[in-house]
Structure 1
Amino acid sequence: MRQYKLKETKEIDKIICNKCGKEIAVNHGCPTEDVLSVDKRWGYFSKKDNQVDSFDLCEKCYDEFVATFAVPIGE
């Protein structure tokens, strides 16, 4: 006799760049191009205490974003 248990899993269907709205295709749960994903929980010393912000940026938008930094990112 076989007994089964119900197993629920979540798989990414698509990713949308929060800056430009570009849809990044996903194949079997994996993005077809690289993406910057940010998940930030703000701490006690911020005005956003315990707020969680999450966003994704495509590579083009990432490049545009870091180009605005006053201090360049290290290599």
Structure 2
Amino acid sequence: MRQYRLKETKEINKIVCNQCGKEIEVSGGTPREGVFSVDYAWGYFSDKDGERHSFDLCESCYDKLLASFKLPADIEE
């Protein structure tokens, strides 16, 4: 006798940059170019306590964000 369970999986089929609206190509659930993804849960002592913020940036918008920093990000190779 065989017993089965229903297996449900989620696969990304589209990513859109939240800053500029560019659609990033996805193939087989994998982005075909660099994407900066944020999923952050705000905690105590912030005005956003309990909120979760999620967004994606294309590489160009990420570069613009980094360029706007007063102190540069730490980048390792």
TM-score scaled by length of structure 2: 0.91
1:67, CA displacement in angstroms?
A: 0.3
Whether 1:49 aligns to 2:54 is: no
CA RMSD in angstroms comes to 1.0
1:4, CA displacement in angstroms?
A: 2.5
2:72 is matched with: 72
Which one-letter code corresponds to 1:37 in the other structure? Answer: S
Q: Which runs of 5+ in 1 are unaligned?
A: none
Distance 1:26 1:2 in 2: 36
Distance 1:74 1:30 in 2: 26
1:2, CA displacement in angstroms?
A: 3.5
Whether 1:38 aligns to 2:32 is: no
1:55, CA displacement in angstroms?
A: 0.3
